[in-house]
Amino acid sequence: DGGITQSPKYLFRKEGQNVTLSCEQNLNHDAMYWYRQDPGQGLRLIYYSQIVNDFQKGDIAEGYSVSREKKESFPLTVTSAQKNPTAFYLCASMGTGNQPQHFGDGTRLSIL
Amino acid sequence: RKEVEQDPGPFNVPEGATVAFNCTYSNSASQSFFWYRQDCRKEPKLLMSVYSSGNEDGRFTAQLNRASQYISLLIRDSKLSDSATYLCVGANAGNNRKLIWGLGTSLAVNP
């Protein structure tokens, strides 16, 4: 089955630690996205990538980094510079044209 | 003004009721729109795509009014399982392939 896989489902970060969230898709989509969602809030775009080896900052990129070395993969690193990382992180991908985005089932990140 | 605006609700309706949500957008060049539903602590799931004047899928009807720049979602014969947050989304008219997300409308269908 085609889809988007995020891992882990739950993640805990210690002070001063970088953590990496995985996102893999087998939908052959060019574009991939990372969003953050806080409780009771909407989706906020962190980073997105339209093509391999290229990515752009979204609205809240500070304290995060990404890479796009393969079409299928778009990992997100939450760095120690992100002082309030506790949130629900959603990865999405999108095909060509005016297509909707498809989501993985998310990673919940908390601070220890 | 936000690019995509929704009434946050909550909408509380009895089972079997018809409920309608409106969503307004500010960028008149936006070409396509989507409705997603999001259950508590889950990812958004696509409910309906709206590319022209509207779309219908069973109990759900979406209508697009480009002149007034709003999209509506009508749910007929509400079920308990329709309780969720409904997100209105517009495709950015530029080439950057970003979607513009509304903050969502909360629906609770009561027995």
What's the CA angle centered on B90, arms B88 and B91, to 5 degrees?
150
Average pLDDT rounded to a whole number, residues B26-54: 91
The stretch A32-60 carries a mean pLDDT of 95
* CB distance B11 to B21 below 8 Å: yes
DSSP type of residue B3: S
Residue B93 clears pLDDT 80, i.e. is over it? no
Q: At residue A70, does pLDDT exceed 90?
A: yes
Mean local confidence (pLDDT), B32-53: 93
CB B88 within 8 A of CB B99: no
Across the interface, whether the CB atoms of B46 and A105 are under 8 A apart is answered no
CB distance A98–B91 less than 8 Å? yes
List residues in chain A touching B: CB distance below 8 A: 31, 41-43, 45, 48, 50, 56, 58, 88, 90, 94, 98, 100-106
Adjacent-strand bridge partners of A64: A78
Give the nearest partner residue to A50 out of B36, B91, B97, using CB atoms.
Answer: B97
Lowest mean pLDDT among A27-36, A74-83, B2-11: B2-11
- CB contacts < 8 A, A to B, total 42
Determine the pLDDT at residue B96: 66
| pLDDT confidence band for A1 (50 / 70 / 90) | low
Q: Is the dihedral of CA A84, A89, A93, A99 positive or negative?
A: negative
Q: How confident is the model at residue B76 (pLDDT cuts 50, 70, 90)?
A: very high
Classify residue B78 by burial, with Cβ atoms within 10 Å: 0-12, 13-18, 19+.
buried
Q: Is A65 helix (H, G, I), strand (E, B) or coil?
A: strand
Q: Are A92 and A35 in contact (CB under 8 A)?
A: yes
State the average pLDDT for chain B.
92
Report whether pLDDT(B14) > 90.
yes
Give the per-residue pLDDT at B90: 92
Average pLDDT of chain A is 94
Q: Would the pLDDT of B89 be above 70?
A: yes
Chain A: nearest CA to B51, how far in angstroms? 8
**B43/A104 CB distance under 8 A:** yes
Q: How many CB atoms lie within 10 A of CB A82?
A: 21
Q: What pLDDT is recorded for position B54?
A: 87
Closest chain B C-alpha to A55 CA, distance in angstroms: 11
Residue B48 Cα distances to A68, B74, B94, angstroms: 29, 11, 22
- Confidence band (pLDDT; 50, 70, 90) for A40? confident
pLDDT of residue B98: 85
Q: Which residue has the tokens 């969503």?
A: B23
| B91 burial level (CB within 10 Å; 0-12, 13-18, 19+) | buried
pLDDT of A5 strictly over 80: yes
SS3 call for B81: helix
